[in-house]
Amino acid sequence: MINKQLLKKRFNNHAKTYDAYADVQKNMANQLIDQLSTNFFNQEITILEIGCGTGYLTQLLCEKFPKAAITAVDLSSGMIDLAKKKVTEDRVSFICEDIEELRIEKHYDLIISNATFQWFNSLHTTIKKLYKQLKPTGRLLFSTFGNRTFQELHSCYSHAKQKLGLFSNSSPGQSFFSLDELSQICEQALVPLREHPFKLSKMEKLEIQYFPTVQGFFKSIKKIGASNSNEESYCQRPSFFRELINLYENDYRNENGIKVTYHCLIFNVTKTNHSQSCPDYSLEVMDCS
């Protein structure tokens, strides 16, 4: 379970350093834009962006959709303050709220979110809520992190516990869904809405980063505010972290540095007409390891 107050505090504290360390998140935002048809760009549409952060995707949306009215939502006031400095157009409005708690009054042509869904505590409920707020033939497009994210860290964490005889169920962060698991959550949320048929497409991609040291990797997580925000405890003994770092150095260092895997998932859900078959699934898997 994510502690939203702790999450908000960490994003507020590290909003100013987020952009310098969020290379993977920026790549994911660009991939989201690539999923949209160019025929869509010049229309007068309404867009809801969830988890706008410092406004990187918001800027892309403004560039690609010059006639769109955009509402950008984020949990962190610190993030929104920076986004407002980047994006000053009157057609963009910002809301500082938790989207899981926010009552959405309007309907949108596009609801889009980059690297945010992993912070939801009630993913099934939130997906259903967002889908209901789409206009006919509207689209819900989001990216998030999959279960292979930080697989090196999780492996070393597990091995360090075994080596030191620690038998708790703790982990270094929240667990992420696999592509299939998240697909099942979407299906369970949307199939019962029989009056609103949908088409679902999905893709996954591995992005690899390298850091000079394990400590440098940990610093990058901290600087974007993405440190462990679980309510459950995790091991913080100095001896444990020394062992974890030694294992990471021995097992996952090569000539490029310390290896870190990011597992990026993209889901594209579109409302369809009743005349179209429902549901319709397509899958693209891109493994760039």
CATH number at residue 56: 3.40.50.150
Higher pLDDT, 284 or 67: 67
Average pLDDT rounded to a whole number, residues 260-287: 68
Domain presence at residue 227: no
Amino acid of residue 252: Y
Radius of gyration of the chain (CA): 20
By C-alpha distance, which of 53, 47, 54 is closest to 71?
Answer: 47
Binned at pLDDT 50, 70 and 90, residue 41 comes out as confident
Domain presence at residue 54: yes
By C-alpha distance, which of 44, 7, 17 is closest to 230?
Answer: 7
Domain presence at residue 202: yes
What pLDDT, in 10s, does the model give residues 19-35?
A: 999 999 999 999 999 99
The interaxial angle of helices 23-34 and 56-64, nearest 10 deg, is: 20
Domain presence at residue 254: no
Domain count, the chain: 1
Q: Are 97 and 73 spatial neighbours (Cβ–Cβ below 8 Å)?
A: yes
* pLDDT, averaged across the chain: 89
pTM, two decimal places: 0.91
Domain of residue 20: give its range. 4-147+175-206+262-285
- DSSP symbol at 104: P
Binned at pLDDT 50, 70 and 90, residue 231 comes out as low
Domain presence at residue 186: yes
What pLDDT, in 10s, does the model give residues 107-120?
A: 999 999 999 999 99
Domain presence at residue 252: no
Domain presence at residue 25: yes
Domain presence at residue 107: yes
